[in-house]
Amino acid sequence: MNPVPCILLSFTGAVILLSLAAKGKKMGKTRAAVTLLVVVASWAPCAWSSQGPLATLPDGWESNLAGKEPKGITKKAQETGVHASQTVPTWMAVVEKEASEKPDEQRTASDYLELATKEWKAKKYKKALRLCQAGLARDPSDARLRIELIYQLGLIYADLDNRDFALRAFHIATNMDPNYSWPLCNFGYWHLDPEEGSRAETSMLKAIQLDPMNAFWYNHLSLIYNAQEKYDLSEACSLKASQAEPNSEFPYFNLGSIYMAQEKYDLAETSFLKAIQVNPKNAYFYYNIGALYAIQRKYDLSEAYSLKAIHLDSNMAGPHINLGIIYRDQRKDDLAEASFLKAIQIDPNDPKPQSLLGNLYNDQKKYDKAWACFLKTVKLDPENSDGYCSLGNAYMNFKLYDLAKTYILKSILLNPKNPIAYNSLGVIYWRKGEFPLAEESFKKALQLDPEMALAKANLSNLLEFLKKLHQTEMDGFFIRDHEGNAH
C-alpha cells in the first residue's frame, strides 16, 4: 500500500500573512519570502548522498531515526487539515482491522505499516512513529515494503516538524528505488528553502516524469514556481493539476494564492471560492479568503469568512489575526487588541501577531507595551527586518537615539531595500543634529520607494529647516560684523 502524502500548503498562507503584516506601513505587491534557484539538469538521485544532512546513514540508522523524540505537530499539518484520503476503502479497513487484532508477536512488517498509516491519518503521530519503528525492527526482506515503511516514517517526521529526519527518510527511500515518485515529491517539498530550491524543482520534475498524470506533483511544483515569482509557470502547473484531478480543491487554492500575489484580486476570489465549493470544511480556505477581503477592505466579508474559519477550527491563529486587522482599521481598538492577543495565545511562537499588536499599541501611544511586543518579535524571528525597524522606532519614542540607530541599522543590514528603515534612520540623524546624513537617508528611502509620502514630507521639512538655519546664521554674522565695525 502506498501511503498518500501530506499536501502541505503553508507557503501560501505565509505570503498572505506577510502582506497583511506590511499593510498599514506601506502598500505594494504581496511578495513571497522565499527565493529559489532554477535547475535544468539530468536526474542523479545518488549525487546527494555526500551532501548536507542526507549523507549515507551509519549502521543502526533505523533505531536512531525511529527513536528521535518528536518536537510537536507542525503548523502545516494543523492549518491544512489534509494528510491523506478522506475516505478509507472497505478493503483497506478490513486489512487494518485484521492487523490491529493480531497480538504483537504475530504481526508482520506489513501489519505495522498498515497500523502506522492508520494512526498517521488520525494525526496520532507519536503512536504512528512507534508502529513504524516496530515494522522496521521486523527487518522486512521485501524491499518495497521496507521502502514504504521508511517513506511513512518520513511523512510522520514531516508532520512532527522534524525536517532533517523527514528529508533523510525520503532520501533513503528515493535512493532505494529512484522510480518511486512519492518520496521524490515530499523530498522536493521539504527543500522549499532559499539555499536548496534547485533540489525541490528537480525532485518534482522527476516525479512528474515518473507519473505525469498525478495532480499532487503539479500542485507542489506550482508552489515552487510561486515562490520563485514565476507566476505563469505556477499558474500552468495548477491548471494542469485541476485537469488531472478535477475534484481536488488544492489547484484552485494554489491559483487563488498565485493571483493574490499578483494583486489580481477578482481572480483570486473566484479561485478561493471554488476551493471552498469543492471542500467546504477546510478552515484554512476560509481564513485565506478572509485575508484577501481584508486587503481589499471588504471588512464585512472578511469578518464573516474569518469567523467561519474559527468555527471550523478554533485552534487556528490566522483568522484571529484577520479579525485584529479588520478591527484595527475600523478603529475598534479593544476588539483588535483582543484578537491579536488570542492569536498569540494560540501560537505564542508566531512573531506576526506580536508585531501587529505592537503597532496597535504604538498608534495608541502606549510605548512601553509597544516596545515589549517589538522586542518579543525579534526574539522570535531574529531575521525580521521590519521587527528591528519597529524596535528602533520604539527606542526613538524614549529618545534613546543611539539604541534606536543600532536597531535601525540592523534592520537595513537584514533588508537593504527597506525604505521605512531609511526614513527612520533619517529622523534619528536629524534629531542628533547630523543633517547631511539625515538628508542622505531620506533620499535613499525615496530612491527605494518614490511614492513614500512620509519620506517626502521629512525631506521637504529638513531642507526648509536647513534653509532657515542657514539664514539665521547669516543674519547673525552680519549683525556681529556690523557691530564689530561700529565698535
Q: Are the C-beta atoms of 157 and 71 separated by less than 8 Å?
A: no
Distance separating alpha carbons of residues 478 and 487, to the nearest angstrom: 14
Identify the CA nearest to 360 among candidates 350, 369, 351: 369
Averaged in consecutive runs of 10 residues, what is the pLDDT profile of the chain (487 residues)? 36 37 35 25 25 32 39 38 38 52 75 86 87 82 81 81 75 68 50 55 71 77 83 91 88 93 95 95 94 96 96 95 96 97 96 96 95 96 94 95 96 96 96 95 96 95 90 62 43
Q: Which residue has the cell 478591527?
A: 327
Stated pTM of the model: 0.64
Domain ranges of the chain: 47-177, 388-487
pLDDT at 437: 96
pLDDT of amino acid 2 = 39
- Please name which of 338, 341, 283 lies closest in space to residue 316, comparing C-alpha atoms: 283
Dist CA 183 CA 169 (whole Å) = 8
Per-residue CA distances from 441 to 114, 205, 414, 459 (Å): 63, 46, 17, 9
Q: How is domain 388-487 classified at the CATH fold level?
A: 1.25.40
